Amino acid sequence: MVKTNNMKLTYLKRNSLIIVLAVLSSTFNNIAFAQTSKNQRYKVAVCDWMILKRQKLGSFQLASEIKADGIELDMGGLGNRETFDSKLADPVEVKKFKDKSKEFNVGISSIAMSGFYGQSFAKRETVKRMVKDCIDAMKTMNVKVAYLPLGTQCDLKKFPELRPIIIERLQWAGKQVAKIGGVIAIETSLDATAEKKLLKDIGCKSIKSSFNFSNAIENKKDISAELKILGKKYLAQIHASNTDGFWLQNDKAIDMHKIKSTLDKMNWKGWLIVERSRDTTDVHNVKANYGANVAYLKKIFQN
């Protein structure tokens, strides 16, 4: 009987030791991952709405599973509402998002106003409320960059007459975001020369560019040359992907090694965000598409 009890005790001790070692190993791995991510000059994120987790807590776990350093967290849908359909004004929900970010060691690259892909920043009457809500979310979530796409209704190549009102509204928005030490990163359809001119006309240090590889390609421009023209001063973040068709590693329109060399020489650092570049033969496979693109960017930029 004593021998049996001793055997059980030994078994329990051995299992307890295995569990403790497993917990310690997991903890050390998480710390190592967090430190590695923290010290990286270039970090890789994914758009939460493109991985089908728009302002959902599950975006952090999914981003972790595909090895992304962060997510671009969206403000939610817009449609005909006065402002975004956002949970980020609710302290209870905010805590949940912060807890998930910490749990999975997944940061937030920026707060996105993706609703303006299809809505007019120039014409919507409640733009000031929308921008203010986004800035409040930035402050609450401790994020320094907001992403603002000037989408189809504010395409300055098609609607140049909107330029004055867009500049006026961005000057106002720049003053507001400057109060929290933040930046609004705009994406336009313009090439780098024209976009730099627009930013100079706005004349606000808190309004910069969210450079998108696909825009340079659509404008038939070399990505690296466009980055040089735009310059470090005007570059807040990069959407490092093309339109759907191929994974980044298979896209002949993108010379990623050259792009990294250019950014290194510019002494730029920041977030590279995967928006698209999905393989159209399996476009709905989120883990495969975004996992491959994140892995490739990390191989080039974090090696």
Report residue 184: phi and psi, to 5°.
-105, 120
CA distance 85 to 105: 26
pLDDT at 39: 80
- Does the domain at 42-301 match CATH 3.20.20.150? Answer given as yes
Question: What is the chain's pLDDT, residue by residue, as a tens digit (303 residues)?
Answer: 544 555 555 544 555 544 434 444 444 444 444 444 568 999 999 999 999 999 999 999 999 999 999 999 999 999 999 999 999 999 999 999 999 999 999 999 999 999 999 999 999 999 999 999 999 999 999 999 999 999 999 999 999 999 999 999 999 999 999 999 999 999 999 999 999 999 999 999 999 999 999 999 999 999 999 999 999 999 999 999 999 999 999 999 999 999 999 999 999 999 999 999 999 999 999 999 999 999 999 999 998
pLDDT at 282: 96
pTM: 0.88
pLDDT at 267: 98
Please choose, from the candidates 192, 187, 213, the residue with its C-alpha nearest in 3D space to the C-alpha of residue 296: 213
Q: How many residues does the chain have?
A: 303
CA atoms within 13 Å, Cβ hemisphere of 52: 7
Q: Contact, 110 vs 67, CB < 8 A?
A: no
pLDDT at 303: 82
